[in-house]
Structure 1
Amino acid sequence: MDNQQMRIQSLKYGNHLHYEWDTTLLEKTDEHIFVLGHRGRKLKHYTKGKVFTMENWTIEFFPFDAWFTVSADIIDGKVTQYYCNICQPAKLNENTVTFVDLDIDLIYTNGRWNVVDEDEFAANAVKFSYPPDLVRRVIQEQKSLEERIEQGRFPFDGTIERLIKMLPDGE
């Protein structure tokens, strides 16, 4: 790992800064980026006006050609939770990755996948005037992500688990 620092910025529709945090680059290709979120990092949540301290290491995936992100919590060398945002494809500009969060999330915890924040999606569709095509696309992308997970397709094919070895020793 070359310790290249990467800033991650989550935006709400209309490019309103939602939250941001700093990470370290693990892997970069033309199609995606993987980063490491360090235990103890600060997440600045602009929408809530708060700063949160993140308790776990994460391996995070941002594709430039797909409508989701993945954050995998790592505890004792194992993935304990997946948190996937439905969002517009991520963009990379030098050392900053941005994505437009479209509210609906898929979360894996306690052995089960759950869809959350559908109420937030409905409220924000009105608040931010999501175009009808975008609303349809979000629903389509949620179903597509559920199929990808079920079929064990990249990055749910063991790729994230293989990256765990890149955590600093003793973590």
Structure 2
Amino acid sequence: MPRISKQKWSIADGTCSEAFSWEVEHLGSDEFGTWLGARGGNPVRQRDGRVEPQPGDVVWLVQPDAPEPPWWLPAFWFSDTTDLTVDICTPPTLSEGTWSFVDLELDLFRTPDGRAGIVDQDEFEELARSGFLTESQARRALDAADALLQLVTDDAEPFGQAALPWLRSLQEGSPRR
């Protein structure tokens, strides 16, 4: 079964390592990319070895065939509190069944009432000052967040309703492929 591995920098010791990992189902592909999903309760391994249940059903969109790989990974929740979250990160890559990326700490969100924003700027600024990101990487992350905020706010696809059929197929146990 495929996995997602979210890696993070430790500013304290200067290492980049897996912070979270979890199994996902390959739901299928469409014009936006490849859709992965996991049901609520799915075990998520933490950096310290603990395992915690995923809080709800969610689908992710990866774009391995994009001409320029995106510096983001959206998670579509469509829950009572969160429509979607977007990790600003290094482009996700697939190796031996695992989608890996380095979280750059900058995140976007949208609530069900349409409110959207960027959070964790302080964590991103600390990471950028640490020297673990190049100036070019920091600029790409900021540019990605700024560009995505308008798309997320406007419900522009794939940040609008494109994920809903994939979420339903996950919940019904019938991948669309």
**What TM-score does the superposition give when structure 2 sets the normalisation length?**
0.79
Structure 2: how far apart are the matches of 1:138 and 1:29?
Answer: 26
Aligned position for 2:83: 81
Please say if 1:131 is aligned against 2:134.
Answer: yes
Aligned position for 2:38: 37
TM-superposed CA distance for 1:28, in Å, is 3.9
Distance change >3 Å, CA 40–CA 128, structure 1 → 2: farther
One of 159, 167, 171 as aligned partner of 2:170: 167
Q: Specify the code of the residue in structure 1 equivalent to 2:91.
A: P
Please say if 1:67 is aligned against 2:37.
Answer: no
One of 92, 101, 104 as aligned partner of 2:103: 101
Alignment of 1:11-22 (within 5 A): 11-13=7-9, 15-22=16-23
**Quick check: 1:59–1:74 contact (8 Å CA) kept in 2?**
no
Please say if 1:154 is aligned against 2:157.
Answer: yes
Distance change >3 Å, CA 168–CA 146, structure 1 → 2: closer
Q: Specify the code of the residue in structure 2 equivalent to 1:55.
A: P
Distance change >3 Å, CA 156–CA 79, structure 1 → 2: farther
- Identical aligned pairs, as a percentage? 23
Structure 2: how far apart are the matches of 1:33 and 1:142?
Answer: 21
Structure 2: how far apart are the matches of 1:73 and 1:26?
Answer: 15
Structure 1: how far apart are the matches of 2:33 and 2:96?
Answer: 14
Q: Specify the code of the residue in structure 1 equivalent to 2:4.
A: I
Structure 1: how far apart are the matches of 2:81 and 2:162?
Answer: 12
Q: Tell me, which stretches of 5 or more residues in structure 1 are unaligned?
A: none
Superposed CA offset, 1:92-134 (max 9, x none): 1242111111110001125211211111111222335211111
**Quick check: 2:57–2:167 contact (8 Å CA) kept in 1?**
no
Which structure has more RCO (C-alpha within 8 Å, separation ≥ 6)? 2
One of 116, 119, 135 as aligned partner of 2:119: 116
Structure 2: how far apart are the matches of 1:55 and 1:121?
Answer: 25
**2:24 aligned counterpart, secondary structure:** strand
Aligned length: 163
Q: Specify the code of the residue in structure 2 equivalent to 1:156.
A: F
